Amino acid sequence: MKLKTPECLLFCSLMCSSDVVAAVSLVSFEKDPDLYSVVFGEGITNDAVSIILFTTVYRFTSGKSELGVGAAWTISKDFSVLAFNSLLIGTLFAIGSAYILKRFRVFSKNPVMEVMMIFCIGYLAYVTAELSKNSGIITLLTAGIVMGHYTWFNLSPMGKQASYTVFEFMGYIMEAFVFGYLGLTFFSYAQY
């Protein structure tokens, strides 16, 4: 099967992200937290760049634009704008959540309310980015990182424990679902 030029660009932008699951599975966070953080951060950065590059190239190729001399400049400019806007939206929502939990202590009375507020603000950041044609995944990642640095310290002690437990549980459930789904669908495809 011969790919046309726009399809090649899309395929290449998807393939530029390296998978660090194997490397992260070999490094234990408890034994070497610094190495784990570096490897995990490198993988997240690769994924973020891949997502933004894919979105940018997809927008460029879906507009029936011609690949010419100015295509690299246009793609680079769109890549930078998309990355900046996604990071900005995530940062603004995360700082907003930290401000709300710091100034309005009525939200800190119930740990369930605190966890729900963190979840809803993260989801709201994601939806805002998607509706404004930015990268929702990068926005959510940025919001999570900034919330971890600022919002975390404005939670009550029970809220900290509850949020850690709830999000750890949700992470394990989602990971198990993805691996289970991939394992079950592996046998549903016809072998050629």
Q: What is the pLDDT of residues 57-78, one digit of tens each?
A: 777 777 666 667 777 787 788 8
Query: What does the domain layout of the chain look like in residue ranges?
Result: 1-67, 79-192
Whole-number Å distance between alpha carbons of 61 and 66:
8
Look at residue 3 and tell me whether its pLDDT is greater than 50: no
The pLDDT assigned to 23 comes to: 66
Lowest-confidence region among 20-34, 107-121, 124-138, 166-180:
20-34
CA 123 to chain CA centroid, nearest Å? 12
DSSP H or E stretch at residue 103: helix 71-103
pLDDT in tens, 74-99: 778 888 888 899 999 999 999 999 99
What span, in angstroms and rounded, lies between the C-alpha atoms of 128 and 86? 10
Query: Considering the entire predicted model, what is its pTM?
Result: 0.73
Return the SS3 of 8.
helix
- % residues pLDDT > 70 (the chain): 82
Q: How confident is the model over 138-153, as a mean pLDDT?
A: 89
Which pLDDT does position 27 carry in this prediction? 73
Indicate the average pLDDT of the chain: 79
Query: Exposure string (b/e) for 39-70, b if CB count within 10 Å is 16 or more?
Result: beeebeeebbbbbbbbbbbeebbeeeeeeeee
The CA-atom distances, in angstroms, between 107 and each of 11, 151, 163, 188 are 46, 12, 14, 47
The encoded tokens of residue 174 equal 């989602």
**Is residue 107 a contact partner of residue 113, using CB atoms and an 8 Å limit?**
yes
pLDDT at residue 181 greater than cutoff 50:
yes
